[in-house]
Amino acid sequence: GAGVSQSPSNKVTEKGKDVELRCDPISGHTALYWYRQRLGQGLEFLIYFQGNSAPDKSGLPSDRFSAERTGESVSTLTIQRTQQEDSAVYLCARKGYTFGSGTRLTVV
């Protein structure tokens, strides 16, 4: 989507490997959100960054998931020791509620 760039667009990884997903809000925005969408399912909230406040991590499903963001710049979502149930599209959105095109993660 315009204004949010996500990379890679597709990622296939082996079970047990770590992956890093990237979100760039391009023009810089204080608020940035990560969501996960499994095939045929709704959007599942993961984490929310708001400026310099502590992020809302209440949606992270396990300690294998972590995310970082410095200021209003790029955010990275890291999944350690990937499992097959982590297969999903990972979507990032910025304030103004524009989504990136997502990263389709497949764990084999």
Partner 1 sequence: RKEVEQDPGPFNVPEGATVAFNCTYSNSASQSFFWYRQDCRKEPKLLMSVYSSGNEDGRFTAQLNRASQYISLLIRDSKLSDSATYLCVVPGGKLVFGAGTILRVKS
Interaction site with partner 1 (CB under 8 A): 1, 33, 35, 41-43, 45, 48, 50, 56, 58-59, 91, 93, 97-102
Rounded CA separation 33/69 (Å): 11
**Shortest gap between Cβ of 12 and partner 1 (angstroms)?**
16
- State the nearest-atom distance from the C-beta of 59 to partner 1, in Å: 7
Query: Closer CB to partner 1, residue 50 or residue 76?
Result: 50
Measured from the CB atom, is 26 or 43 closer to partner 1? Answer: 43
Buried (b) or exposed (e) across 38-70, using 16+ Cβ within 10 A?
A: eeeeeeeebbbbeeeeebeeeebeeeebebebe
Cis peptide before 8 (omega within 30 of 0): yes
CB of 96 to partner 1, least distance (A): 8
Tell me whether residue 28 or residue 45 sits nearer to partner 1 (CB atom): 45
